[in-house]
Amino acid sequence: MPDQNSTPDTAARGPVMQPSGREVPVAEHFVAPVLDDEGRAGIETQLADKPSNLWRDAWSSLRRNPIFIISALLMLFVLFVAAFPTVFTSASPDSQCTLSNANGAPTAGHPLGFTNQGCDILARVVHGASASLLVGFGATLGVLLVGILLGGLAGYFGGWVDAIVSRIMDIFFAVPLILGAIVLMAVPVMRQNAGIVTLAIVLTIFGWPQMARITRGAVLEVRSAEFITAARSLGMGKLSILFKHVLPNAAGPIIVVATLSLGIFIVVEASLSFLGIGLPPSILSWGHDISAARPQLRTNPGALFWPSLMLSITVLSFMMLGDALRDALDPKGRTR
């Protein structure tokens, strides 16, 4: 009697006799090996460790990426400064300005010194963070709404919808972001209503084509998937499929571009304020402080250095975060 624990790969059987007396050979067949407890445990471990979806795989990659950790910490620090400025300074950025302290050196309670108007540099740097971030987040939100809507419709429906949206994108792509913002902010109506909301709207007008193009490409890649075909076969409407299935599965590139765009919009706001056509002087901005401190570069370099440093840290954190997200949400990039 053969041993029950043995699991040969193949087993041969003898010929089978038919009623007619003719012998019919039987082909060899394969016998699957019997797994012991250790083998079954190994397979179960591999199945348990396998990521269940793209987002879990991306989060696992981000947790091991030092660039993501550093950029996230820097971003959280900047957001905390903008949300709770009184934690870092008790001085008022404008009301306590004294000309006797003009270009003064650091003193107790004023560790960064004073501007040429006698204002506390630390107070202006800390309180100026909120305006730059509000413009950046507002413009990014507007770009997301317009770009996702138009890009999603163009990519999913195609045809004449895609043609019209693509031609409109080409027109706006021909106008650089900063140049278009300068021209539009120079209009008297815009200058009279200059503020955070106005500047965010202007940046949205000239910034949405990039988001729309990325969304269109992502939707074109997803709309031919099998689960989209299955949704159509179940009788779901086109708009329902677009917003419930296509766009959520195309969110990876959109998130990456939104993070990078946030840093770009903060730079554009500072550049426009530096030129004097962005936020009004009544709103604290790093761009205003950099422009005001430029003539005192030799006599008081700190007034220029500290707002420039905060601007650089803010933009760098969002750019690094966008790069880390792009690497994590790109399955082809992770396999290389």
pLDDT tens digits, one per residue of 163-184? 999 999 999 988 888 899 999 9
pLDDT score of 19: 57
In this prediction, the residues of the chain whose per-residue pLDDT falls under 70 are 1-54, 95-96, 330-336
- Residue of 81, 82, 89, 129 lying closest to 113 (CA atoms): 89
Give, for 29, the enclosing helix (H) or strand (E). Answer: strand 29-30
pLDDT score of 63: 83
pLDDT score of 12: 47
Cβ atoms of 94 and 119 within 8 Å: the answer is yes
Does the pTM exceed 0.75? yes
Q: Provide CB contacts within 8 A for 235, sequence distance 6+.
A: none
pLDDT score of 158: 85
Q: Scanning the structure block, which residue is given the tokens 């972001």? A: 177
CATH code reported for the domain at 57-88+115-335: 1.10.3720.10
Q: How many residues does the chain have?
A: 336
pLDDT score of 29: 54
CA 268 from centre of chain: 17
pLDDT score of 147: 92
In the beta sheet, which residues pair with residue 29? 11
- Give the start-to-end residue ranges of the domains of the chain: 57-88+115-335
pLDDT score of 51: 45
Bridge-based pairing of strands 23-24 and 16-17 is: antiparallel
